[in-house]
A and B are shown apart, each in its own frame.
Chain A
Amino acid sequence: MLNILKNRFEQGCRTSPYPKTPVQLPPRYRGRPEINPNAPVDLARRCAAACPQDAIDAENKTIDMGRCVFCGTCQRISDGQFVTFTQDFALSVSEKKHLITRGTLPDLARHARQHFKKLFGRSLQLRQVSAAGCNACEADLNVLATPFFDLARFGINFVASPRHADGIVVTGPVSRNMKTALFQTYEATPEPRVVIAVGSCALSGGPFRGSPEITEGLDKLLPVDLYIPGCPPHPMTNLHALLTFFK
């Protein structure tokens, strides 16, 4: 008993004051990309050629956050002259076209479907479907339940059955072998239901792009309401998306 109390005291209170107080991520974290529209086009082309994810459109000078895995290669090549990754973890968008960006994202709160806020603003139960990613997205969704993020204090929970859920959170590039299970889980979720795509794989196929075994984007299979980019998205990105979109 004494040992339990001693540990409790040593551990202290760890819950993040976010969203009341802003959170600062470390300097090497690569968040929302910003494009310099005045960069020379051949520099943009060099970045596009080096991008492992084919995420850069050099002619239009945009970056596709759905494909991007936030490796920072383009920033390094252009020495920050074309792309810089900021420490801003607010990356999520409600329409796929907004993933292709120069760095300014639409205000997610205003783009949220108002009836979702009304329905789910005080209580949101989500069912997670892991569909062939690498388990990093799942791991960083799971940490939302740890004391630091403590998702439950916002009335948001991950539940065990789609029957108890208001929506599904899908990670991974939806392999051929997971399609049926995904559709069945979706069908089992009562309407109105939300579909949230988390991570580069669910948004575009991610690093597995080009494999015949996977789907290049969840939106090809289901109507997606919220897109959360990252490889994997930082837990703060997930938390920001859920709070802004539904609260």
Chain B
Amino acid sequence: MTTDFKPISNGAAIALADVPHFSLDNFACRALHLVSNGGKVVQFFAYPHGDRLRFLAVLRTDTLLTATCDAPDTYPAMTATCENFHLFEREIAEQTGIIPRGHPWLKMVRYHANARGVADVFGNDYQEDIPGKYDYYAVSGDEIHEVAVGPVHAGVIEPGHFRFNCIGERVLNLEIQLGYQHRGVEPLLLQAAPNRRPFIAESIAGDTAVANSLCLAQAIEALSGMPVDAGAKIIRTIGLELERIANHVGDLGALSNDVAFLAPANYCGRMRGDFLNMSLLLCGNRFGKGLVRPGGVRFCLTDDIRNTLVQRIAELKPQVSHVIDLIFSTSSVRSRFEGCGRVSRSDAEKLGLVGPAGRACGLPYDARRCFPTEHYGNLDIPENAEATGDVYARAKVRADETMQSIRLIESLLRHPVETHCVDGENLPLTPDSLVVTINEAWRGELSHCILTDETGRILHYKVKDPSFHNWNGLSMALRNTGISDFPLNNKSFNLSYCGFDL
């Protein structure tokens, strides 16, 4: 008899029949026990089982653990005990109409009607198309004022609404309401023909195109038994690291810009482009769209391209290193970065922050090291944990990772890489199975989860962007911070709106 959550491997399919199925009480009790003792929630959602729904949770300690239970119409909220479940329970409520009783902050996530056609948990009328139509958390008092920003922002930025409750310049609370970009990605991935899936996955978040298509490809490979050769794994690793470097370098420039140090901002903007152009050289798209497909990669790494990449990196590496040194050795930059927007380690634990935002608070979790896929098992990924949890720490983690990733790519480009190119072959998927894939995208843990039905069709597709964990980290960072430091904090996280909105 199974008595606990079942350990599973990242990117390995298991039969749904082998996933332990508990009563709701036992499920909640075990899940809360695991997460209260340092575990984290990777996935938690409801999926159809016959004409009923079931809950499925994927938790992580030093392994991945999973279990299911029957989903009731209403149940006592786990968030009341354990903050890690907060957004997951809201998401379930929005997607299925299941009410978590006693949830401390039950509000909509993406502003859409639920798929089951049952009564809306939030009492919204979705004929009205403004997600912001909602009573925001308010603070009252003599000198209290509110600042509302968005959905359309002052720059070339994705839409989202920010509501600041301030006393003078000081932010008491920042509430973030997203959902403007909701495109119905998960239902679309169920309906779309198999050859469309990689394109949809790559467009969940364009700056995370490689990581998303990697999660999809690994899941399909696991479910169809498709082999991937060693060369393809190396090329995919290079693609993912190029994506990381381009984004980190761009954001270091943006951080510099937000403290009015314009020279590095311009240098980083240009150098980011040079890294995007490396993806362009490799696969014809600056964001790596079209590189990864189930079964391998669509483009080989010829010796010509490999040598060009080696040359370009040899030229760029000292430039990046010098500009990073310039940013971090400038006292006016340090004085703005240090101590700004601090998130404590205990808050980061409770919110389950991932990626550089989590590492900046002292949580060393990095999926590349903890649950390695592709070529990462052969690579040495350092821990990169900082202690201070402020803008400085977030910038520092990203600067360190930039240089580490450049060295990783250098080492991978040292030897010729051979692979047999693929173009998204569609093999049948194993029926009645579950697969969870996790990759360390540049913002942190990205996870896709696929369940198949008895005919091998996809029964449920779940995507979790790292931003799903981290947006509340930004809210916490703003507490008691000057409102003028919002742009700086926002950039230090640089979270995805569309990855969250799906």
Contact = CB atoms under 8 A, between A and B. Distances in A.
A212 B182 CA distance: 11
Contacts of A53: 196, 199
A58 interface: no
A133 B130 CA distance: 18
Contacts of B183: 132, 173, 175, 208, 211, 213-214
B325 A208 contact: no
A135 B158 contact: yes
A177 B319 contact: no
B62 to A, nearest CB: 33
Interface residues of A, number: 68
Nearest to A140: B286
A3 B326 contact: yes
A52 B202 CA distance: 13
B200 A207 contact: yes
Interface stretch (B186-194, B353-361, B434-442): B186-194
Interface string B173-186: 00000011111110
A147 B271 CA distance: 10
Contacts of B110: 177
Interface residues of B, number: 73
Given A3-B326, A11-B270, A28-B299, A52 B195 contact: yes
B181 A6 contact: no
Interface in A201-220: 201, 206-208, 210-214
A52 B196 contact: yes
Given A10-B319, A208-B200, A208-B203, A160 B155 contact: yes
B273 A181 contact: no
Interface string B123-166: 00010011100000000000000000001101111110000000
A76 B423 contact: yes
B287 A136 contact: yes
A160 B191 CA distance: 39
Interface in B258-306: 263-264, 266-267, 269-270, 272-273, 276-277, 280-287, 289-290, 299
In order of increasing CB-CB distance, the 9 nearest A-B pairs are A136-B206, A134-B206, A146-B269, A160-B154, A28-B284, A213-B184, A132-B181, A134-B203, A211-B184
Given A53-B196, A146-B266, A158-B156, 18 more contacts: A11-B270, A29-B280, A69-B199, A69-B289, A70-B284, A72-B284, A130-B157, A130-B159, A134-B203, A134-B207, A138-B157, A143-B272, A143-B273, A177-B111, A177-B182, A207-B196, A211-B184, A213-B183
Interface of B: 110-112, 126, 129-131, 151-152, 154-159, 179-185, 187-188, 191-193, 195-196, 198-200, 202-207, 209, 263-264, 266-267, 269-270, 272-273, 276-277, 280-287, 289-290, 299, 318-319, 322-323, 325-326, 329-330, 423, 496-498, 501
